[in-house]
């Protein structure tokens, strides 16, 4: 039997493949299972147009069988199989995709999920195997063929026996090395978890023999188990699903230990087509406001996991959102680990942003209590959002903000505030401080409060900075109660009357020198009622902002 050489380019490619294209060795299983699923899809597709073929779903499955003592991992499918020629063509030439050709020949367009297209996935098997053997019997053929290769040296093809149509991929798993563990690819629990991770939503059952001992007394039992959940919840109709289904999905996916406050199920079609299930969590993850926290959504292409946390799908200010997106419109790079170009992704992200905003507004409008709960956890993130991009996203965010109100003694929106403003009130007043209790005692607030004007209490460091970025809300400017000019027009309350200052010139000079370095000037004020003295600022920064800035590490 002669050993056939891979084409020259293929040899180099194979080397590249094994050594550098994929970052995670475990994805070989994702690739082989995708191929098996494609092969079953092809029979299904043929059956649609060929009456002599009937596609009985029960007969189609993928099976993964580890044989630890012999270091063999077998992946079998009941798909369309390959003829001798097809084995040569598809596996003898790297970067030749039979699946891509099949799609072209059969003019398959949308809605049919054949995954393959690059013609390299199969070779990822060499990342974990010394020898790869493929035994395949094609649909409509009696004989079977065996293709075998140890990698770059080439491959052999010879006739062999196989009872039924389909393909067995047999991997001789490598021995462990100092820095690489291959044994894990023979472990049941590890294989199960890789299948769950990448191939959970493959449409055909992925079976494994699972060994279980119920308790200490009983002996080990073997049971065939279907590892994948097959039908992704996001492909189901909303009407088929219950709240419990969504909650279960949330915890199965380990999005959080809490129960989500709200889910968003999107099925978008049009300029971009995608499906998504997003969650607004109730509780803040413990690491949320730390550098360790990574935002992002799971990204699937045709039901296969591409990325665990695709950050591009979420703006920073919505980084608390959890969930997944599945789309067929992505251009992926060859390893399916990196996105090729992100025009589609940008469109999806934009779309998702709007949906999240609408849902939050809806929550605010219709379930105020829940919204306030949410805002306690993630309100700061929204305010950071306004601050960090210089107010560029104020349209998205300003109506989602809540502040404590002096009048209502509870959280209010800016729109609620403005709608209650008396006609002569020029500004939206706020007072900044460490806590509601301390702000209540601020002497500066008295005059404004006496006027009957509502004051928003800013207790978060970021509040005042965010508001500065907003500048105005519904054309009303924001004004700190500690600012020099409060804009309250009435002669008697105009701050610092020169007459009083002149009268007390000596006293004020003395006070200024005692407080040197702490205050710039001491002046008489008519703003005070029950307090003898207050601090007030000149210029752009308020006293509270200065405090925050001074506390920042240099």
- Residues at the annotated binding site? 31, 35, 77, 82, 90, 96-98, 117-122, 167, 336
Q: If binding is defined by CB under 6 A, does position 100 make contact with ligand ADP? A: yes
Which of 26, 31, 454, 461 is in the footprint of ligand ADP by CB under 6 A? 31
90 binds Mg ion (CB under 5 A): no
Rounded to the nearest 5 degrees, what angle is found at the Cα of 277, between the Cα atoms of 274 and 282? 150
> Smallest distance, Å, CB 470 to Mg ion?
51
Which of 10, 78, 97, 413: binder of ligand ADP (CB under 6 A)?
97
Following CA atoms 332, 338, 343, 345 in sequence, which dihedral angle do they give, to the nearest 10 degrees?
Answer: 100
Q: Which stretch binds ligand ADP (CB under 6 A): 95-103, 191-199, 276-284, 324-332?
A: 95-103
- CA distance linking residue 28 with residue 71, whole number of Å: 16
Contact stretch for Mg ion (CB under 5 A) within 110-118, 145-153, 326-334, 383-391: 110-118
Residue 433, interface with Mg ion (CB under 5 A)? no
Give the total of residues touching ligand ADP (CB under 6 A): 23
Q: What's the CA gap between 240 and 231, in Å, rounded?
A: 13
Q: Is residue 269 helix, strand or coil?
A: coil
- Which of 29, 34, 18 has the alpha carbon at shortest distance from 194? 29
x/- contact string, 154-193, with ligand ADP (CB under 6 A)? -------------x--------------------------
Candidates 18-26, 114-122, 280-288, 344-352; binding stretch for ligand ADP (CB under 6 A) = 114-122
d(CA 112, CA 43): 12
For ligand ADP, the binding residue among 44, 122, 182, 371 (CB under 6 A) is 122
Question: For ligand ADP, which stretch binds (CB under 6 A), given 90-98, 358-366, 391-399, 456-464?
Answer: 90-98
CA–CA dist 324, 197 (Å, integer) = 13
* Cβ(326)–Cβ(307) below 8 Å: no
In this structure, what token pair is assigned to residue 262? 């709200």
| C-alpha to C-alpha distance for 356 and 344, rounded to whole angstroms | 18
Choose among Mg ion, ligand ADP, none what residue 400 binds, the Cβ cut-off being 5 to 8 Å by kind.
none
Site string for ligand ADP, 64-83 (x = CB under 6 A): -------------x-xxxx-
Two tokens at 261?
Answer: 């406050």
The one of ligand ADP, Mg ion, none whose footprint includes residue 374, by CB under 5 to 8 A per kind, is none
Q: Which of 81, 121, 232, 281 binds Mg ion (CB under 5 A)?
A: 121
Q: Does the protein bind Mg ion through residue 35 (CB under 5 A)?
A: yes
Residue 119, interface with Mg ion (CB under 5 A)? Answer: no
Residue 274's alpha-carbon distances to 246, 286, 327, 358, 383, in angstroms, are: 18, 31, 4, 18, 29
Whole-angstrom distance, CA of residue 415 vs CA of residue 400: 10
Q: Is 300 helix (H, G, I), strand (E, B) or coil?
A: strand
Helix axes 368-388, 461-470, angle to 10 degrees: 70
Partner whose footprint covers residue 442, from ligand ADP, Mg ion, none (CB < 5 to 8 Å by kind) = none
Q: Is 184 exposed, middle or buried (0-12, 13-18, 19+ CB in 10 A)?
A: middle
Number of H helices, E strands in the chain: 17, 21
How many residues belong to the site for Mg ion (CB under 5 A)? Answer: 4
Nearer to Mg ion, 6 or 28 (CB): 28
Phi (first) and psi of residue 512, to 5 degrees: -65, -40
Output 60 or 250, the one with its CB closest to Mg ion: 60
Q: Which stretch binds ligand ADP (CB under 6 A): 31-39, 230-238, 368-376, 378-386?
A: 31-39
In the set 118, 318, 371, 430, which binds ligand ADP (CB under 6 A)? Answer: 118
Taking each helix axis from N to C end, the angle separating 461-470 and 543-551, rounded to the nearest 10 degrees, works out to 120
Tell which residue, 549, 522, 550, 551, has the closest CA to residue 536: 522
Binding-site residues for ATP, in ranges, read 31, 35, 77, 82, 90, 96-98, 117-122, 167, 336
Per CB under 5 A, the list member of 66, 92, 98, 116 interacting with Mg ion is: 116
Q: In whole angstroms, how close is the CB of 97 to ligand ADP at the nearest point?
A: 3
Determine if 260 is a binding residue for ligand ADP (CB under 6 A): no
Contact partner, 90, from Mg ion, ligand ADP, none, Cβ < 5-8 Å per class:
ligand ADP
Q: Which is nearer to ligand ADP, 82 or 321 (CB)?
A: 82
Q: How many residues does the chain have?
A: 554
Would you count residue 90 as binding ligand ADP (CB under 6 A)?
A: yes
Helices (H), 106-171: none
Q: How many CB atoms sit inside 10 A of residue 74's CB?
A: 15
For Mg ion, the nearest residue by Cβ is 121
10 binds, among Mg ion, ligand ADP, none (CB under 5 to 8 A by kind): none
- Helices 98-105 and 27-49 cross at an angle (nearest 10°) of 20
CB of 66 vs ligand ADP, minimal distance in Å: 18
Nearer to Mg ion, 44 or 255 (CB): 44
The answer to whether 256 and 323 have CB atoms below 8 angstroms apart is: no
Closest CA to 147 of 65, 77, 88: 88
What residues make contact with Mg ion under the rule CB under 5 A?
34-35, 116, 121
Contact residues toward ligand ADP (CB under 6 A) are: 31, 35-36, 39, 77, 79-82, 90-91, 97-100, 116-122, 167
């Amino acid at each position: 039997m002669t050993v056939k050489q891979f084409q020259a380019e293929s040899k180099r490619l194979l080397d590249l493949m094994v050594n550098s294209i994929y970052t995670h060795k475990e994805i070989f299983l994702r690739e082989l299972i995708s191929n098996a699923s494609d092969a079953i899809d092809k029979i299904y597709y043929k059956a649609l147009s060929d009456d002599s073929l009937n596609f009985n779903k029960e007969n189609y499955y993928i099976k993964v069988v580890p044989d630890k003592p012999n270091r063999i991992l077998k992946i079998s499918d009941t798909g369309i199989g390959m003829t001798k020629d097809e084995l040569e063509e598809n596996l003898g030439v790297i970067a030749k995709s039979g699946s891509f050709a099949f799609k072209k020949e059969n003019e398959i367009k949308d809605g049919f999920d054949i995954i393959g297209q690059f013609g390299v996935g199969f070779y990822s098997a060499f990342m974990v195997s010394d020898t790869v053997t493929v035994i395949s019997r094609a649909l409509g053929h009696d004989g079977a063929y065996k293709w075998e290769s140890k990698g770059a040296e080439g491959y052999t093809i010879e006739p062999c026996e196989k009872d039924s149509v389909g393909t067995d991929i047999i991997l001789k798993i490598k021995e462990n090395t100092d820095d690489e563990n291959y044994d894990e690819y023979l472990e049941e629990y590890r294989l199960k978890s890789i299948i769950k991770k990448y191939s959970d939503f493959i449409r055909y059952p992925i079976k494994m023999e699972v060994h279980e001992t119920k308790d200490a007394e009983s002996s080990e039992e073997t049971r065939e188990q279907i590892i994948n959940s097959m039908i992704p919840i996001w492909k189901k109709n909303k009407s088929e699903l219950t709240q419990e289904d969504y909650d279960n999905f949330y915890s199965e996916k380990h999005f959080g230990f809490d129960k989500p406050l709200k889910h968003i199920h999107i099925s978008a079609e049009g300029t971009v087509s995608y499906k998504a299930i997003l969650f607004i969590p109730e509780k803040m993850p413990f690491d949320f406001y730390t550098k360790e926290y990574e935002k992002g959504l799971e990204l699937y292409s045709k039901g296969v996991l591409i990325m665990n946390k695709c950050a591009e799908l979420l703006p920073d200010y919505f980084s608390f959102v959890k969930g997944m997106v599945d789309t067929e419109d992505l251009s992926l790079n060859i390893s399916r680990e990196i996105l090729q170009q992100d025009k589609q992704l940008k469109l999806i992200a934009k779309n998702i942003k709007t949906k999240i905003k609408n849902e939050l507004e809806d929550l605010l409008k219709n379930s105020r209590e829940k919204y306030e709960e949410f805002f306690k956890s993630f309100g700061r993130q929204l305010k950071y959002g306004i601050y960090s991009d210089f107010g560029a996203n104020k349209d998205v965010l300003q109506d989602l903000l809540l502040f404590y109100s002096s009048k209502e003694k509870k959280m209010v929106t800016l729109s609620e505030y403005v709608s209650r403003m008396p006609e002569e009130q020029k500004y939206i007043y706020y007072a900044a401080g460490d806590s509601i209790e301390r702000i209540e005692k601020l002497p500066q607030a008295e005059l404004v409060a006496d006027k009957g004007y509502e004051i928003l209490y800013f207790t978060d460091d970021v509040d005042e900075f965010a508001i500065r970025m907003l500048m105005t809300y519904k054309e009303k400017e924001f004004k700190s109660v500690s600012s020099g000019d409060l804009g309250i027009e009435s002669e008697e309350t105009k701050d610092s009357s020169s007459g009083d200052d002149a009268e007390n010139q000596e006293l004020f000079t003395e006070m200024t020198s005692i407080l040197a370095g702490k205050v710039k000037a001491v002046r008489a004020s008519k703003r005070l009622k029950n307090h003898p003295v207050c601090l007030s600022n000149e210029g752009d920064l308020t006293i509270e902002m200065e405090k925050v800035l001074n506390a920042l590490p240099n």
